[in-house]
Structure 1
Amino acid sequence: MRTVGLIVEYNPFHNGHLYHLQQSRKITQAGAVVAVMSGHFLQRGEPALLDKWARTRMALAGGCDLVIELPVAYATQAAEWFAYGAVALLEATGVVDSFCFGTENGELDPLLRAADIVAEEPPAFKALLKQQLQTGISYPSAYSSAISSYLAELGHASDAAFPFALPNHTLGLHYLLARSRLQAKMEPFTIAREKAAYNQETVTDSQIASATAIRKLLLEQKSLEETRPYMPQSSLDVLQEEWSAGRCPISWEPFTNALLHAIVTRSPQELSALHEITEGLEYRIRNALPSLPSRSFDDLLGALKTKRYTRTKLQRSLLAILLGHRKEDFSSDKLASGVEYIRVLGFSEKGKLLLRRMRKSAKLPVLLSAARPTKPYRYLELDTQASSVYMLGVPGQTSASSMFRDFTEKPMFAEEL
């Protein structure tokens, strides 16, 4: 059975995701779908709208056959390590033949050629990247610009003109770089995004809207009905259930007091030991607090934002403070070798067959529970800690036991939902 891998957040699962899943099956001729999904905190440094178990239900109902969790150590990273962790997990299953990701224009070849050329980051490319960073622009912009300049120097004029800076092209390139560096055997595919751009906050189509636009409707208008045209009924059913129970929608705001506590109880030196806190950002954060108009997350973010520090970079930095993520756990060496297990969140009947195959094919231990790992895993420990913190920000989760749900929740079986 051919199997395609998808790298997702499903925050929440909407019609665009359904289209991506169906088209991925079609173009790869796959009979099953494996999704690597971020847990409770996401790539842009923000909490998920719904917890990972609700989003797993959406994924299974939408057609995924096996959902595995991308550890928080990778899920909250910039493109390079986010992609590396996700591709490493798909490859480690031993059952995934291909993977498919979305791009703005549906072109794969320029990304493949660029990945082949810069996978080992030649000295000339590193020098161009350093020059770009010295201009004060963000790392993603500097990386994209350095690639274009390097390809132009090599005489690849047409590839140099490719829009690497577009968000999905950036992620796609890093998926392919990870594939090359891991020497993964999976065949890559891409499809063009349809009708809604990545991060597009406005709705411009009758059926397709970005996850960003859907979250905005839910968080600002407090209306489920407004999202109905843009989500499958199965996702709406899960959303309605979680909404009625007071477990969503979740944003940064419920975590602000805990974040401020984590900031004011640490010295600048202690803050600087945390992941993503660089270039004196610890002082900027501490100095911003006395002049904040309120204790809201948006006010804190507004006081910190500069041309160099994008919203995403700052959110990742503040998330590292909230979760207590120390630099020592996020070194390049640790991240390159740190994918140590495959954590299963849910599966279908086909997924059950994949799990049976994985008993022989998987390159890593397959965990069906966080309660009984085969050995201590540092990144699993960070995952369970992140889940506990997340539950503290969920209004509808008032019992202390909810903080330890990672240890009691079994993988979901689609046929029993």
Structure 2
Amino acid sequence: MRTVGLIVEYNPLHNGHYYHYQQSKKESGADACVCVMSGSFLQRGEPALVNKWARTEMALAMGADVVLELPIAYACQPAEWFAFGAVSLLEATGVVDSVCFGSESGDLTMLEAAAELLHDEPAAFRAELAKELATGAPYPAAYSRTVARFVLGADEAELAKPNNTLGLHYLIALRRLDSRIRPLTIRRTKAEYNQTDVTDSAIASATAIRKLLLEGSLLADVRPYVPQATADILAREWAAGRAPMHWERYARPLLHQLLTQSAGQLSAYAEVSEGLEHRLKAVLSEPLLGVSSSGRAVDTLLDLLKTRRYTRTKLQRMLLRILLGHRHDELSPALLRQGAPYIRVLGFSPAGQQLLKRMKAVASAPLVTNIGRSAPPWLELDIRATAAYALGYDSPSPEDWLRDYYEPPIRYGFGGSDAK
């Protein structure tokens, strides 16, 4: 069974994602599809609009055969580690033949050339990157600028585009893992990654869809841009008080952490670097005007923290690590380089069930379908993230925050009582 891997967030799954899925199957000639999907919190340091089980249902309804959870250790990282973790998880399955990602370029030529040079970064490249960072440039911009200088024919503006950046790091990860997985790319169509406005009758970015929903639009307003199953699942989660999830639902627990810990204590958390703990405490020592009345505590805090050097995404990831209590030592580069230590299964189809049987025989990491009370360290981080995420619901219950322990993988398309 030829299998293509997709690395996704589906926040939420929309018509553009469905197009990417269809084209990936076509370009790869695959019979089956494995999705590696972020869990409760996402790469930009934000809570997912709906929980990982709801988004797993969306993926399976679209046609995915197996959905695996990308550990939060990787899911909320800059592009390099996000890509490495996701690719290492696909590699660990032992059954994935190709990986297909969306890109603004739709062409692997430039990205392959850059990956060939950068999978083992030359000392000269690192020195040049350090010079760029010393100017105060944000890391993504400094990295793109440095790559453009080192790679013949590389275009800085193209490299800086979000999906091209991730694509480059997927290719680098494949080389670092000496993977046999074949890379493919599909050009994004009709809506850019972070495009906030809707310019097409059927395709809109996930950013634009979330903007509509979080600004009070009705679910009916986004139905033209999402598959029917996505619309139905969103309606169900809204009705249950489990959506829409956003940063402001976590303002109080976050502020509790920030206000009750010293700068020294804050410096122990991942993503708190270069003295940011002192900037945090300095900002918090001044009244945050309008926070209590506007309901924008986290948004206001991010506005006050943001500088030319520190992007909003970097700061969101920092706040998330503080909220979840993730320390530097738990997410050290030495640990991250080891790759995904387990394969957490969130859901599968009948064809996916056959894939899972193959995985059990050939996978290089253990498959996890049920969680016991003594989980390995990184899986414990995922369990804690689920609990923290659920506490943002309208009326969270113990079943919500302990859901990882009792929720089996979703079986989709089997018929009878096990169908979702």
TM-score bracket for the superposition, by shorter chain length: over 0.9
- Normalised TM-score (structure 1): 0.96
Structure-2 separation of matches of 1:91 and 1:406? 24
| Equivalent residues, number | 409
Query: SS of the residue aligned with 2:158?
Result: coil
Q: CA deviation at 1:245?
A: 1.2
The residue correspondences of 1:41-190 to structure 2 (distance < 5 A) are 41-151=41-151, 156=152, 158-159=153-154, 163-190=158-185
Q: Does structure 2 retain, via aligned residues, the 8 Å contact 1:338–1:379?
A: no
Structure-2 separation of matches of 1:233 and 1:368? 28
Query: SS of the residue aligned with 2:246?
Result: coil
Per mean C-alpha deviation after superposition, the further-off stretch among 335-344 and 71-80 is: 335-344
Query: SS of the residue aligned with 2:201?
Result: coil
1:394 partner letter: Y
Q: Does structure 2 retain, via aligned residues, the 8 Å contact 1:4–1:99?
A: yes
Corresponding residue to 1:212 among 188, 197, 207: 207
Residue 89 to residue 117, structure 1, CA distance change in 2 (3 Å): same
Counterpart in the other structure of 2:186: 191
Deviations 1:160-184 (A, max 9, x none): 5672111111000000001100111
Deviations 1:323-358 (A, max 9, x none): 011000111101111521000000001100000111
Q: CA deviation at 1:284?
A: 1.1
Q: CA deviation at 1:371?
A: 2.2
Q: Does structure 1 retain, via aligned residues, the 8 Å contact 2:147–2:156?
A: no
Q: Does structure 2 retain, via aligned residues, the 8 Å contact 1:124–1:150?
A: no
Structure-2 separation of matches of 1:314 and 1:380? 24
Deviations 1:349-375 (A, max 9, x none): 1100000111111111000022267xx
Deviations 1:213-247 (A, max 9, x none): 00011110241011011000011011111111111
Q: Does structure 2 retain, via aligned residues, the 8 Å contact 1:2–1:97?
A: yes
Q: CA deviation at 1:209?
A: 0.3
Counterpart in the other structure of 2:247: 252
Alpha-carbon RMSD across the aligned residues, in angstroms, is 1.1
Query: SS of the residue aligned with 2:230?
Result: helix
Q: Does structure 1 retain, via aligned residues, the 8 Å contact 2:137–2:308?
A: yes
Q: CA deviation at 1:145?
A: 0.8
Q: Is structure 2 residue 344 aligned with structure 1 residue 343?
A: yes
Corresponding residue to 1:292 among 284, 288, 294: 288
Q: CA deviation at 1:280?
A: 1.3
2:255 partner letter: L
Q: Is structure 2 residue 263 aligned with structure 1 residue 268?
A: yes
Structure-2 separation of matches of 1:286 and 1:162? 36
Counterpart in the other structure of 2:26: 26
Per mean C-alpha deviation after superposition, the further-off stretch among 251-260 and 221-230 is: 221-230
Structure-2 separation of matches of 1:246 and 1:131? 49
Q: Does structure 1 retain, via aligned residues, the 8 Å contact 2:387–2:401?
A: yes
Q: CA deviation at 1:54?
A: 0.4
Unaligned runs of 5+ in 2: 414-418
Q: Is structure 2 residue 384 aligned with structure 1 residue 385?
A: yes
Unaligned runs of 5+ in 1: none
